[in-house]
């Protein structure tokens, strides 16, 4: 067993650690993916979409007619037609000169001449050209592809899309308990953020075994989970130093102070603690900004609400605060600590910067939603 990892005498401010992580970090190369695989990724540029439908279509089964020819028609004053109308079904292109579809029971075919028994208005029972999708772009570059976006693109006939999908390699350092719930949590969050996840596990917790698992393998970001603390079996930071460079170990972030950042070659590395709350806090504060930079995502939009009660914070330490929606306000659930039950209740999170003592009740506060 090698020497125990130690934290420095003073912790690095979160802003400095994040600046070191993002230094020289550029967006990943665009890739073309089938629409199903592009879900959750970030758009590079959206092709111009053709109008859909490409012509006026029926949206109901019935008779295609011209509305101005039906003025005054009713069951009391039927309108005689010189020739039979055209029957259309939902999805059919509208016949030339027709601008409405009337129900089957509004036409009487029992006599020698066709009779119309109801009026109609232009556009009744039809969808105009471009009624589903107007010609043009769907979304600007830098936005996340949602399921409804995929529906629109399929409707427009697109088969693939050019996006940025950073390759994220996650190396789990096995916990002494044998559980891997933190790794599962981070993998799920990474995929939700639009990353392509390559998951592996070190064979053991010693520095040599961890170092062997740290090959970047062409990834855009490397994340380790566990072994970043100062316990006798913690060796993630020592392994990082063996394979590359440790930029920061020990960040003024609560939870998450034993996190580290570094590089192996040109690949940035984030060492997350093994406890779920510590890892999740560092994921939000460090990994998400790195992934947003790699994916070319537009800045995340926070939600602003007043605080239902005050938040106290320790000066000099950036603290994660969990918030719950309480009417039109934020109700603070926890600051600087994140019990798992509280994480499950939370609707949003934010970082209280190290220079702040907190916020008084009623203060307008920005936070990032955990539930879309």
| Distance (Å, whole) CA 297 – CA 43 | 8
Mean pLDDT calculated for residue range 267-285: 96
Average pLDDT, the chain: 92
Task: Mention every residue, 6+ apart, whose C-beta is less than 8 A from residue 227.
Answer: 173, 205, 210, 233, 234, 235, 236, 237, 239, 271, 274
- Say if CB 117 and CB 103 are below 8 A apart: no
Give the whole-angstrom CA distance, residue 262 versus residue 242: 11
Geometric angle at alpha carbon 130, from 128 and 131, rounded to 5°: 55
Q: How confident is the model at residue 158 (pLDDT cuts 50, 70, 90)?
A: confident
**What's the whole-model pTM score?**
0.82
Polymer length of the chain: 372
Q: Average the pLDDT over 8-15 and give the result.
A: 92
Q: What is the pLDDT of residues 286-310, one digit of tens each?
A: 999 999 999 999 999 999 999 999 9
- Token readout for 185 is 């949590």
Measured torsion, CA atoms of residues 277, 280, 284, 290, in degrees rounded to the nearest 10: 140
Q: Is 37 left (phi over 0), alpha (psi -120 to 50) or beta?
A: alpha
Does 3 have pLDDT greater than 80? no
What is the C-alpha to C-alpha distance for residues 347 and 350, in angstroms, rounded to an integer?
A: 11
pLDDT value at position 212? 93
List the one residue out of 206, 185, 205 whose CA is nearest residue 197. Answer: 185
Q: Are 262 and 214 in contact (CB under 8 A)?
A: no
Give the C-alpha separation, 93 to 35, whole Å.
Answer: 27
Residues facing 252 on adjacent strands:
13
Please classify residue 311 by burial: count the beta carbons closer than 10 Å to its beta carbon, then call 0-12 exposed, 13-18 middle and 19+ buried.
buried
Helix (H) or strand (E) holding 345: helix 340-345
- Of the given ranges (22-26, 49-53, 259-263, 346-350), which has the lowest mean pLDDT? 49-53
- Find all residues with CB under 8 Å of 367, minimum gap 6, and list them: 302, 303, 304, 305, 321, 323, 330, 348, 349, 350
Sorted by where each starts, the structural domains of the chain and their CATH numbers stand as: 12-28+166-295 (3.40.980.10), 30-52+138-164 (3.90.105.10), 57-127 (2.170.190.11), 303-369 (2.40.340.10)
Q: Are 50 and 157 in contact (CB under 8 A)?
A: yes
Span 76-107, pLDDT tens digits: 999 999 888 999 999 999 999 999 999 999 99
Q: Is 114 helix (H, G, I), strand (E, B) or coil?
A: coil
What integer pLDDT is reported at residue 138 of this predicted model? Answer: 63
Q: What is the pLDDT of residue 136?
A: 72
The residues near 229 (Cβ < 8 Å, ≥ 6 apart) are 5, 258, 273, 274
CB within 8 Å of 285: residues ≥ 6 apart: 14, 18, 253, 256, 318, 320, 351
Give the pLDDT confidence score for residue 372 in this predicted structure: 66
pLDDT at 4 over 80: no
Residue 2: per-residue pLDDT: 55
Residue 46 binned pLDDT confidence (cut-offs 50, 70, 90): confident
Round to whole Å and give the CA distance between 184 and 109: 67
- Residue 97 corresponds to which tokens in the numbers above? 């000169």
| pLDDT of the residue at 6 | 86
């Amino acid at each position: 067993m090698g020497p125990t990892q130690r934290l420095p005498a003073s912790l690095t401010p979160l802003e400095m650690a994040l600046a070191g992580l993002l230094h020289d970090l550029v967006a990943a190369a665009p890739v073309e993916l089938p629409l199903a695989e592009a879900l959750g990724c970030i758009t590079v540029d959206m092709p111009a979409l053709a109008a859909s439908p490409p012509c006026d279509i029926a949206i109901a089964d019935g008779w295609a007619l011209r509305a101005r020819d039906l003025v005054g028609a009713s069951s009391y004053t039927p309108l005689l037609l010189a020739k039979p109308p055209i029957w259309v079904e939902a999805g059919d292109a509208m016949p030339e000169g027709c601008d409405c579809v009337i129900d089957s029971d509004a036409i009487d075919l029992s006599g020698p001449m066709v009779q119309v028994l109801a009026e109609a208005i232009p556009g009744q029972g039809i969808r105009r050209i471009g009624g589903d999708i107007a010609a043009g772009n769907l979304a600007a570059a830098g936005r996340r592809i949602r399921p409804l976006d995929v529906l629109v693109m399929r409707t427009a006939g697109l088969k693939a899309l050019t996006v940025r999908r950073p390759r994220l390699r996650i190396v789990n350092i096995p916990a002494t308990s044998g559980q891997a719930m933190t790794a599962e949590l981070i993998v799920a969050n990474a995929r939700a953020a639009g990353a392509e996840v390559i998951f592996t596990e070190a064979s053991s917790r010693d520095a040599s075994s961890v170092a062997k698992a740290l090959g970047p393998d062409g990834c855009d970001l490397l994340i380790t989970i566990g072994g970043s603390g100062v316990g006798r079996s913690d060796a993630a930071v020592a392994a990082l130093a063996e394979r590359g460079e440790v930029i920061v170990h020990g960040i003024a972030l609560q939870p998450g102070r034993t996190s580290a950042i570094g590089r192996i070659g040109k690949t940035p590395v984030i060492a997350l603690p093994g406890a779920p709350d510590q890892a999740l806090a560092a994921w939000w504060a460090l990994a998400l900004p790195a992934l947003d930079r790699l994916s070319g995502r537009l800045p995340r939009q926070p939600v602003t609400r007043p605080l239902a009660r005050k938040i106290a914070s320790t000066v000099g330490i950036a603290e994660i605060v969990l918030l719950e929606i309480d009417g039109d306000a934020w109700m603070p659930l926890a600051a600087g600590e994140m019990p798992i039950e509280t994480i499950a209740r939370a609707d949003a999170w934010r970082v209280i910067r190290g220079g702040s003592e907190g916020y008084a009740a009623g203060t307008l506060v920005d936070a990032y939603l955990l539930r879309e």
